[in-house]
Structure 1
Amino acid sequence: MSGERKVHPGVKLALELGPVVLFFAGYMKLREQTFEVFGSPYSGFILMTAAFIPLMLVTTGILWWLTGKLSKMQIATVVLVVVFGGLSVWFKDERFFKMKPTMIYLLFGGLLGFGLLRGQSYLKLVMEEALPMQPEGWMILTRRLCAFFFALAVANEVIWRSFSTEVWVNFKTFGLTAALFGFFMTQGGVLNRYGIEEDGETDGEKDGEQDKAD
């Protein structure tokens, strides 16, 4: 497929969050059960992990088919889901899958940090079209998001190592999602100051002109 196509935001959100929500619902229903599969016992968590992997592949494939494009972050996420989820199922060990968010956030934070060391904003490369902003604004946002990703990696390690599986599943389903949403909601000051309107003016310049007019 050539070129990226637009898809309804609700459909995109459903495809991205659907597997996580279904994993949560399935785990809550099967968490205290053990299942015999080919003569081997599997906990509800491992069984839902095994179901999550193909579900993630299918929804990502549908998203690619609808949009004609996948971001590097989406591809990296799917690869890590397959690797760490597969290890959990193969060894019947929950720890591999629980470490997956840590690896994802370390990878994203590391990539952003590497770009910053080179004086570049890799975040700009993937979001510039959807969020036009001055270079200085991109560097500020990238530094903040880099630090935030590392903080999420640490938080995930603390939660899965210190609390029960049920606490971790709730944290992964709701805590991480809310944290990401909250982070971007709190970046309004950067977006307002360095954002670029379609006419080429920044929001800051427009505010300054309005103040002079008043």
Structure 2
Amino acid sequence: MSERIIEAGPNSPERPPLSPGLKFALELGPLLVFFFANYRGAWLASHVPSLASLGGPIFIATGLFMAATVAALAVSWALTRTLPIMPLVSGIFVVLFGGLTLWLQNDMFIKMKPTIVNGIFAAILLGGLFLFDRPLLGYVFDQAFKLDDAGWRKLTLRWGLFFIVLALLNEVVWRNFSEDFWVTFKVWGTMPITMAFMLFQIPLLKRHAVEPLPGDGKG
């Protein structure tokens, strides 16, 4: 029997569990590498001369971001023998746009990557919902909680619209503010906004849960 490379569908018993903390670390880790490398690019170049060949701090950060993203996917594969869909899609675009950034020495490509990736996620979620009547968000979050069909539909719609907001925010920030501000926003702005959005979904999760939410304390 051949191994499945891409994660299986929602609630599939074939999907090995991955702790939420580790999953969060694998997703946030590459962003922290990007942030640190951008602000300490000159220091990194002085201590690792090979990095200086990549260019200035934003290009060093881009190269290390690519490496950290691939490493995170490799760890996920080593632990579960599957690759999560959304981090995989994002990782492909990190490598693609990061490669263009380094090759052409033009940071526009890595700055546009969040816009394009969030736009694609929005198109996938909203397209799946309205064109194929499938709430695809279940592929992402079903290990964290179990919802009825109406709950998955509502959550998918909300996340699809939220990804559009993230794409628009990225466009506003990178086109109107400094490079350092954009990097700071990418790491320390986008994540808190996303966490706040997730907290606002808790009432929906409780209303449509088919199993108690972790830490809910209710039978």
Partner of 2:181: 167
Residue number among 126, 140, 146 corresponding to 2:160 in the alignment: 146
CA distance in 2, matches of 1:39, 1:81: 20
Residues of 1 paired with 2:20 and 2:55: CA distance?
37
Shift >4 Å, 4+ stretches: 31-41
Which residue in the other structure is 1:210 paired with?
Answer: none
- How much has 1:46 moved relative to structure 2? 0.8
Quote how far apart the aligned CAs of 1:41 are.
7.5
Residue type of the alignment partner of 1:114: G
Match for 2:32 among 5, 21, 27?
21
Distance (Å, rounded) in 1 between the aligned partners of 2:141 and 2:51: 46
44-53 vs 102-111, which deviates more?
44-53
Tell me if 1:156 matches 2:170: yes
Q: Report the CA distance shift for 1:33/1:7 in structure 2 as closer, same or farther (over 3 A).
A: closer
The one-letter amino acid of 1:96's match is F
Contact 1:159 1:168 (C-alpha < 8 Å) held by counterparts: yes
Cα distance in 2 for partners of 1:58, 1:143 equals: 31
Aligned residue pairs total 201
State the 1:38 CA deviation.
11
| TM-score normalised by the chain length of structure 1 | 0.83
Unaligned runs of 5+ residues in structure 1 are: 208-214
Cα offset for 1:16?
2.0
Matching of residues 72-87 of structure 1 within 5 Å? 72-87=85-100
Post-superposition shift, 1:148?
0.6
Q: How far has the Cα of 1:66 moved from its partner?
A: 0.8
Answering whether residue 26 of structure 2 is matched by residue 12 of structure 1, we say: no
Relative to 1, partners in 2 of residues 1:40 and 1:73: Cα closer, same or farther, differing over 3 Å?
closer
**172, 185, 205: which one pairs with 1:191?**
205
Aligned equivalent of 2:151: 137
Aligned counterpart for 1:110 among listed residues 120, 123, 126: 123
Which position in structure 2 is the counterpart of 1:211?
none
After TM superposition, the structure 1 stretch with the greater mean CA deviation from structure 2, 132-141 or 148-157, is 132-141
1:164 Cα deviation after fit: 0.3
Structure 2 residue runs of 5 or longer lacking an equivalent are 5-13
Aligned partner of 2:41 in structure 1 is: 30
Distance 1:123 1:89 in 2: 33
Which gives a bigger RCO, structure 1 or 2 (Cα 8 Å, sep 6+)?
2
Measure the CA separation in 2 of the matches of 1:42 and 1:137. 48
Cα deviation, residue 129, structure 1: 4.3
Q: Indicate the residue corresponding to 2:56 in structure 1.
A: 43
Larger Cα-atom Rg: 1
- % same residue: 33
Distance apart, 1:37 and its partner CA: 7.0
Which residue is equivalent to 1:69? 82
Whole-angstrom distance in 2 between the partners of 1:82 and 1:89: 10
**Which residue of 2 is the match for residue 176 of structure 1?**
190
